[in-house]
Structure 1
Amino acid sequence: MRDLGLRRWQSLSLTAAFFIVLLCFLLFHSSEFVRSGSRRRILLKPPTSHSEREELDQVLTRATMPDRTVILTMLDEAWASPGSIIDVFLRSFKVGEGTERFLNHLVIIPMDAKALNYCRSLHPYCFYPSIFSHYLRIIAQPTTSPDDNVFIWKRNYVLLQVLELGYNIIFTDADVMWLRSPLLHFHPQNELTISCDFSSYEQRGGNVQDGGLFFLKSTAISIEFFKYFNFMKVLYPNSRVNRSLCSYIVQNQDVVAAYGFRIQYVNTTYFGEFCHRNRYQFREVYSMHANCCEDLRSKVHDMELALHDWIRFRARSSDNYTWKPTAFRWRAPHKCLIS
């Protein structure tokens, strides 16, 4: 009972401290923006209104699986046009092995108005939090991929809102191709199931690459943990560690233990990525993440190439002819390595 009371007191103290620091942060950076013309994006609006939470809940209710699990992805204007990332992403569900049904459980979160309009032309479940439109922005040269820092701010905001509504989350980056159902590798007894690339931990200065796909269970523990994670983003907005969920977990094991936040690491063999060319076997891989590629055209080209290889593999494996699956090699990434 004493530990429970202490935890509740810590939770209340943390919540109060979070809003105090957030207010100070916004006031300081808002004035800095006016003085210097900074390109910062500043969050100006308080948490989601009651009506908007109801709207979000309605979308999630329509898309949820029987166990209250939804699939979420986020989309910005650079990835939302004909022949762009989102088109390849959605097509991967249709050519994947047993994955097309997941489109009925996918909710796309556009990050801007253009992405919202394109999303609505493609998919029935699109939700645009009004809080996203309250970022101060100076029009600059369009980027080819989402700004990492802003993306994590927005992603964590959405994750917390959905968790608080009682939904489990399969979060996927929009440049991840779904080739098989990953549900087999998710462990609902844990708060988080994630694939983290530890292979180049030292070369990246202690930063760990996320696999682009993870499962998050809605529990009181996960909600409090993400409140704390967001709090750290307020205190250290430019920290590289806080931009990666894997990096944050690895370098804050004491926080993970204090919250009792249970984590299951998935073997990276099953969740492929462009960072490691041809390391993944067709018979083992469940998804392919088009990371390590900044140029938009190169990324789309290589995602298309990977899907074409996958379609060839599935067609060949269904033939009656004798063949060696080990003879198949991913041609992607190709342009991403030379861009």
Structure 2
Amino acid sequence: MRTLGLRTGNSLYLPLTVFLIVLLCFFLYYSSKPIQSHGQERILLKPPSTDHSQNPELKQVLKRASMSDRTVILTMVDEAWARPGSVLDVFLQSFKVGDGTRRFLNHLVIITMDAQAFGYCSSLHPHCIHPSTFVHYFSPTIPNRNLLSWKKHSVLLDVLKLGYNIIFTEADVMWLRSPLSKLNPILELSISCNVAGAGDGYMQDGGLFFLKANAIASEFLQQWRLTKVLYPNPPVEESLCDTIMRNQDVVKWFGFRVNLVNTSHFGGFCQLNKDRLSDVYTMRANCCNNLRSKVHDLRLLLDDWINFRAHSSRKNTLEPMILKWRTPQQCRP
């Protein structure tokens, strides 16, 4: 009977002990500060400063690339995406052939995840970040590419805390027109979301979004990162859209305001039937895991866009065949 009593006691105290340890770590990891939101005072968690955000190289590159309102365009590439004939080549080409997009190259910062990517990036573009700047996030001891979204959110948080608004774009997004008119500079987030799967309702973003550098945006990303530590999900990439849609109560509590951009403006291969050349601002090669197929279809997409612009400059009316993409051919949704 005594042995049974000890076992029963242990079974009751163990969950309580674990809970108290997690709660103690939570309060030690954060401090509080009051901020004003919608005219009411409330307490938000203050994210701790990191050595990464204090890196002088990062500060210098961001300062050089910043727009007048302290907005920078960020993307991330590794060696597979940054080599001759790679996704990075097509990505940079899209800015050059897009309508009013070439100027954004001056504001584009490319974060490289390994030394090979940095070497190739530096041969093409003036604003490349060496992987040593974020060595903790891009450690080779964490090779799982499914953790990329977690690393990306950590990098975004560091840049936000330096006071820079962020337009984040995946490197497989083609910039065909300036997306600035679709991004709300007042709200914390502007993003386009699509349902990627009919079964579980998983929300996928269009590969481009705007984050405003303020306390609310920083606190929300910090909370998301803490949630990933305490309650790790299965090893799948979690999009920002999915994070927001599945945590509406947290979004509302933080006052994290979201501007949902029409998916016809920020399109992708997964929903190509919705997108016409006359409507689209950016196009992403999603639903395509093979890099060679991705590059092939992105080049085809840019050819279609160049032909569309040449045709529209010669005529006032557009032939129906010109309004349709030939892509994807090798990428199959």
TM-score by length of 2: 0.82
Q: CA deviation at 1:321?
A: 7.3
Q: Which whole-Å CA distance do the structure 1 matches of 2:161 and 2:113 have between them?
A: 20
Q: CA deviation at 1:69?
A: 0.5
Q: What secondary structure, in the 3-state scheme, does the structure 2 residue paired with 1:193 have?
A: strand
CA contact (8 A) 1:163 1:169 kept: yes
CA contact (8 A) 2:244 2:251 kept: yes
Q: Which whole-Å CA distance do the structure 2 matches of 1:331 and 1:48 have between them?
A: 47
1:54-77 deviation per Cα after TM superposition (whole angstroms, max 9, x unaligned): 321111110011111000000011
Amino acid at match of 2:165: N
Residue 11 of structure 1: aligned partner:
45
Q: CA deviation at 1:130?
A: 2.3
Residue 197 of structure 1: aligned partner:
194
Residue 29 of structure 1: aligned partner:
none
Task: Confirm whether residue 230 of structure 1 aligns to residue 263 of structure 2.
Answer: no
Residue 279 of structure 2: aligned partner:
284
Residue 184 of structure 1: aligned partner:
181
Q: Which whole-Å CA distance do the structure 2 matches of 1:319 and 1:174 have between them?
A: 31
Residue 102 of structure 1: aligned partner:
104
1:16-56 deviation per Cα after TM superposition (whole angstroms, max 9, x unaligned): 8xxxxxxxxxxxxxxxxxxxxxxxxxxxxx9425751x321
Residue 69 of structure 1: aligned partner:
71
Runs of at least 5 residues in structure 2 that lack an aligned partner in the other structure:
1-32
CA contact (8 A) 1:48 1:131 kept: no
Q: Which whole-Å CA distance do the structure 1 matches of 2:139 and 2:34 have between them?
A: 45
Residue 245 of structure 1: aligned partner:
240
CA contact (8 A) 1:47 1:131 kept: no
Q: Which whole-Å CA distance do the structure 1 matches of 2:262 and 2:54 have between them?
A: 41
Q: What secondary structure, in the 3-state scheme, does the structure 1 residue paired with 2:286 have?
A: coil
Runs of at least 5 residues in structure 1 that lack an aligned partner in the other structure:
17-45, 141-145
CA contact (8 A) 2:146 2:237 kept: no
Q: CA deviation at 1:157?
A: 1.4
5 Å-filtered alignment, 1:87-236, equals 87-130=89-132, 132-134=134-136, 137=140, 147-149=145-147, 151-198=148-195, 200=196, 202-203=198-199, 205-236=200-231
Q: What secondary structure, in the 3-state scheme, does the structure 1 residue paired with 2:210 have?
A: strand
Q: What secondary structure, in the 3-state scheme, does the structure 1 residue paired with 2:331 have?
A: helix
Q: Which whole-Å CA distance do the structure 2 matches of 1:217 and 1:139 have between them?
A: 29
1:94-120 deviation per Cα after TM superposition (whole angstroms, max 9, x unaligned): 000000000000000001111111111
Q: What secondary structure, in the 3-state scheme, does the structure 1 residue paired with 2:76 have?
A: strand
CA contact (8 A) 1:232 1:242 kept: no
Q: CA deviation at 1:148?
A: 2.9
Q: What secondary structure, in the 3-state scheme, does the structure 2 residue paired with 1:243 have?
A: coil
Q: Which whole-Å CA distance do the structure 1 matches of 2:41 and 2:318 have between them?
A: 62
Residue 336 of structure 1: aligned partner:
331
Residue 40 of structure 1: aligned partner:
none
CA contact (8 A) 1:112 1:133 kept: no
With over 3 angstroms needed to count, the CA separation of the structure-2 counterparts of 1:211 and 1:3, relative to structure 1, is closer
CA contact (8 A) 2:146 2:235 kept: no
5 Å-filtered alignment, 1:299-318, equals 299-318=294-313
Q: Which whole-Å CA distance do the structure 2 matches of 1:163 and 1:50 have between them?
A: 9
Q: Which whole-Å CA distance do the structure 2 matches of 1:214 and 1:2 have between them?
A: 28
The percent of aligned pairs where both chains have the same amino acid is: 55
1:219-239 deviation per Cα after TM superposition (whole angstroms, max 9, x unaligned): 111011111111122223434
* Structure possessing the higher radius of gyration over alpha carbons: 2
Q: Which moved more, 1:227-236 or 1:285-294?
A: 227-236
Q: What secondary structure, in the 3-state scheme, does the structure 2 residue paired with 1:285 have?
A: coil
Q: CA deviation at 1:276?
A: 2.0
Task: Confirm whether residue 264 of structure 1 aligns to residue 259 of structure 2.
Answer: yes
